[in-house]
Amino acid sequence: MEVMRPRIALVGDRSPAVRSHTRIPLILDALREREGLDLDAYWIRTDEVADLGGFDGVWILLGSPYRSEQGAITAARTARENAIPLLGTCAGFQHALLEYARHVCGLSVSHAENDPAAPDPLIRQLACSLAGHEAAVRLVPGSLAERIVGADRTVERYFCSYGPDPAYLETLEAHGLRFTGHDEEGEARVAELPGHPFYLVTLFQPELAERQPHPLVRAFAVAAAGRAALTRGPDPVRL
């Protein structure tokens, strides 16, 4: 039986001015040529997000402020509630946390970039922008991120100026989210959701890695292929 290509939703407001967006075709080529993972990828603007339930994977990309904050949050919620593999990078990380805080923790929280006047935002402006920076990330031993990377430390690239307020992290963790990657100062940079088939979000951008595909992107693609095989074909590919 022929296995159908995994269908991936690339959620973000695509722009030729965003370097990470221009690297997506390279990443898809690398997955196909080096890993044998041929993804059927669809770009979906945040203001055009509707029913993503038919996709095998959802990747929420950078590019905030989005055309629609709600569109990005809907994408994260759909993936979480329907056990669809989710990868969120940069703004994808930020909006996945917003979704979790609102719909799982019951918090009325905001993103400072989208609503500068809101008090106590979950996603706040960083004291020092990470735009264009490269920095070490320490991964929790035994976490999904650490198993995928194969080490407890990795050096990654950023292009963002917003991140989570540490004051909220304890509440998010009390409701099941796990922060498994931190910078040298202990600031959260990776989150995952135990019990979900694949839920991994990072403030850094694996799209910018020199060698592609980045291990986290490859693992996401494998998880999507596994879902496609389970729902539409023979035995799934495994990590």
Check residue 231 and give its pLDDT: 82
Torsion of CA 5, 10, 11, 17, to 10 degrees: -160
pLDDT one-digit tens code per residue, 124-173: 887 555 556 788 999 999 999 999 999 999 999 887 778 899 999 999 99
pLDDT over 70 (residue 178): yes
Say what percent of the chain tops pLDDT 70. 93
pLDDT value of position 117: 85
- For 7-232, which CATH superfamily applies? Class I glutamine amidotransferase (GATase) domain (3.40.50.880)
Residue spans per domain, the chain: 7-232
